[in-house]
Structure 1
Amino acid sequence: MQITIDENYLLRQLAALLQIDSPTGYTDEVVLYCAEELKRLGLSPELTRRGAIRAVRQGSRRAGARAIVAHVDTLGAQVKAIKENGRLELVPIGHWSARFAEGARVTIYGTGGIHRGTILPLKASGHTFNDEVDTLPVGWGYVEVRIDAITRSAEETMKLGIEVGDIVAIDTGTEFLENGFINSRHLDDKAGVAIALAAIEALERAGASTPVDTHWLFTIAEEVGVGASSIVTSETASMLTIDNGTTAPGQNSSEFGATIAMADQTGPFDFHLTRKLVELCCENQIPYQKDVFRYYRSDSASALEAGHDIRTALVTFGVDASHGYERIHKHALTSVARLVAAFAVSPVKIRRDANEMSGPEGFTHLPIRDVNE
């Protein structure tokens, strides 16, 4: 069954999601937005205590359910200290370089009020520091937030209602170009969330049936390694993660088509589930490539590390300059959405996966060399 993705809907959702600040630990508003959109699409979202979302789209069978997951949280920062000059020292939320923080416009969600500011290197004025501007090391200890308020001391900053631990959200600087390129921070993983919503919209519009229940999951702490650790249910047999790929020298990811990850720093993804994704791309004429990521983990890793015995795979949209000044092309977003929808409606091949434990009958085989040859 061919499922048609509404590209305009996908891009509208991405634009809306990028307008909502959601660094890890500050995700309530984006969770509520996603929950409302899921309800509008006809699903009944459930939220964990902290806000991870599960929305089940019923299929022909409950046991052996499939999960499809993306994360709503993004990179960001927190106030580490209020400096004597009234400016703010930061620590990052998630793993990203201060090199890409320099010059960023930010929102400081202070305990007593919301303020705007800019992340600057400690030596920011060429007229004052001359060549020292270029020799300052890169690191979070070498940048500070200049607050757009009258403050020249730690005492004045604290009177603004800013305290240690307050969240600092990084502006996206989003730009959608007519040629299909999208430049923005936080495409990881707002684009993945938009892809999931677009796949759901397409399935609902087509009235598509699925062989098993599909659990659409939206996690809130992937950037700090927690991810899907507590949102996967016991009836889930397989999980497909949607996240960014790394388009960079030495990588095979692309800003076009779907990039299927074969392994990340935690090891290979499930052989059979990954091969299924490749077959679906071939059957549905979805352009694809494969890649291996050395310095990368996703919701799949957190689910397995939490003890969930499920098959996992990762499909990505190639992002140039991931965790920095990110760029993607809409072709990749639509390609991944097509693959996600095709996966949701595809037949179940490994039927024994419906049981958590069973005998060896029906267990999978791998291609091996015949030692008798």
Structure 2
Amino acid sequence: MTETHIDTHYLLHVLQKLLAIPSPTGYTDQIVHAVSDELKQLGIPFELTRRGAIRATMQGKVQSPDRAIVAHLDTLGAMVKWLKNNGRLAIIPIGSWSSRFAEGCRITLFTDNGMYRGTILPLKASGHTYGDEIDTQPVSWENLEVRLDEAVSDNKAFIQPLSKVHDLQRLGVNIGDFIAIDPSPEIHPNGFINSRHLDDKAGVSTILAAAKSIIDSGANLPMDCHLLFTISEEVGSGASAVLHGDVAEMVTIDNGTPAPFQASSEFGVTIAMADSAGPFDFHLVRRLIGLCVDHDIPFQRDIFCDYRSDSASAVEAGNDIRTALITFGVDSSHGYERTHLSALDAIARLLAIYMKSDPVFWRDRDTLGSDSDFPTQPIEESNFPDSDKGVILHQQDR
């Protein structure tokens, strides 16, 4: 297999482009068009589902079995819960993230007819007014509100005690309007990348960079590979309705979580052994580990207990496929996130190498088969304690 090179300038260009496009779950049409345009420029054919998930196909020598690589386009965000009498907006989160990370965010509010800028603030935001109460008020979404940069909260209530709700309605603000959180990206010359929504726009960028590497090198793939971009991972449904029926193996790209008692790193590839939905496929995971070893790609293993991904939604939807999850370590995930370019480069290289490799098992082209070519996992009876051997022998004797 020829050496795999990743155009990291292209990867960062795509990442910055995607970060600039608001895409909270439920408001993803614009980023779907952006990724569609990128696929067109790469010459990769694709289709869209009714709601906008993207299913692209890089053709290989055979159509079945085929594989899929998936990342999600949607991000965390918020929605308007209530129009308040003071001209502010009560909000609820989209996805699972702490209100602690929402405080002070600059936002864009999308109404049916336009958009407005604003800031998410705690109810008691000024130390000059509330003193120590700004540090003792609860951390909760009920304790936040959006202040729009519009003339709806001019503090004249003591003169004219009228509700400011009609001002919000005049602007066209309604319950259920979407709120996108500014990413505030910063890419440092030493390779560190700080931004909101690296989960999972960095993952999307690695897939496109890997695909570009395949195309630039003129490599022939042994089997079809589908590039999948989902639009509802942050709320759990993800890859539940975008797979071809003959996809045999699927690799999800998402963020890892460097933290105490977690092995994830902002450098290299973090390969997940399990998440909250259970263990990933034994054989596919070992294939990815073997590719890292064979091609000198730095990696580490990890387990995520409070985490699920597109792989989980695909299996829970009834797809009988081998799944795996590879991640780029993201410090402060679902907050103001940070990763390193070396992790994204390593993942893109692994994806390109994986796409050029044979399937884990050719037998997986069939949904059902005999046990004659079914794989086995390594196990040696000599490694069992004597007591366990006794039980096994006793059962066999019976």
**TM-score, normalised on structure 2?**
0.93
The answer for the alignment partner of 2:60 in structure 1 is: 59
Structure 2 gaps of 5+ residues are 154-163, 390-398
The match for 1:190 among 179, 201, 219 is 201
Matched, 1:94 2:105: no
| Displacement after TM superposition at 1:358 (Å) | 0.9
SS at match of 2:62: coil
Letter in 1 for 2:71: A
Letter in 1 for 2:166: E
Letter in 1 for 2:308: R
Letter in 2 for 1:370: E
1:113 and 1:337 map into 2 onto residues whose CA distance is 37
Letter in 1 for 2:204: V
Deviation per residue, 1:18-49 (Å, 9 max, x gap): 00000000000100110111111111110001
The answer for the alignment partner of 1:220 in structure 2 is: 231
Is the Cα–Cα contact under 8 Å of residues 106 and 170 in structure 1 kept in the other structure?
yes
Coordinate RMSD, CA, aligned: 1.0
SS at match of 2:179: strand
SS at match of 1:61: strand
Letter in 1 for 2:49: T
1:236 and 1:347 map into 2 onto residues whose CA distance is 14
The match for 2:375 among 349, 361, 364 is 364
Deviation per residue, 1:303-359 (Å, 9 max, x gap): 000000000000000000000010010000000000111110012241110101111
Letter in 2 for 1:80: K
The match for 2:218 among 201, 207, 217 is 207
Deviation per residue, 1:202-250 (Å, 9 max, x gap): 0000011111100100000000001000001111000000000011122
Matches within 5 A, 1:1-373: 1=1, 2-152=3-153, 153-370=164-381
**TM-score, normalised on structure 1?**
0.99
Is the Cα–Cα contact under 8 Å of residues 255 and 327 in structure 2 kept in the other structure?
yes
| Displacement after TM superposition at 1:368 (Å) | 1.1
1:197 and 1:53 map into 2 onto residues whose CA distance is 13
Q: Who wins on radius of gyration, i.e. which is larger?
A: 2
Is the Cα–Cα contact under 8 Å of residues 186 and 194 in structure 2 kept in the other structure?
yes
Is the Cα–Cα contact under 8 Å of residues 318 and 332 in structure 1 kept in the other structure?
yes
2:81 and 2:290 map into 1 onto residues whose CA distance is 49
1:267 and 1:68 map into 2 onto residues whose CA distance is 19
Deviation per residue, 1:126-164 (Å, 9 max, x gap): 011001000000010000000000003111111111100
Q: Which moved more, 1:323-332 or 1:108-117?
A: 108-117
| Displacement after TM superposition at 1:167 (Å) | 0.2
1:187 and 1:10 map into 2 onto residues whose CA distance is 13
Is the Cα–Cα contact under 8 Å of residues 105 and 118 in structure 1 kept in the other structure?
yes
Is the Cα–Cα contact under 8 Å of residues 237 and 353 in structure 1 kept in the other structure?
yes
| Displacement after TM superposition at 1:276 (Å) | 0.4
Structure 1 gaps of 5+ residues are none
2:302 and 2:262 map into 1 onto residues whose CA distance is 7
Is the Cα–Cα contact under 8 Å of residues 82 and 163 in structure 1 kept in the other structure?
yes
SS at match of 2:375: coil
Is the Cα–Cα contact under 8 Å of residues 113 and 162 in structure 1 kept in the other structure?
no
Letter in 1 for 2:72: H
Letter in 2 for 1:312: T
Is the Cα–Cα contact under 8 Å of residues 77 and 91 in structure 1 kept in the other structure?
yes
**Count of aligned pairs:** 373
Is the Cα–Cα contact under 8 Å of residues 79 and 167 in structure 1 kept in the other structure?
yes
Letter in 2 for 1:27: T
Q: Percent identity among equivalent residues?
A: 57
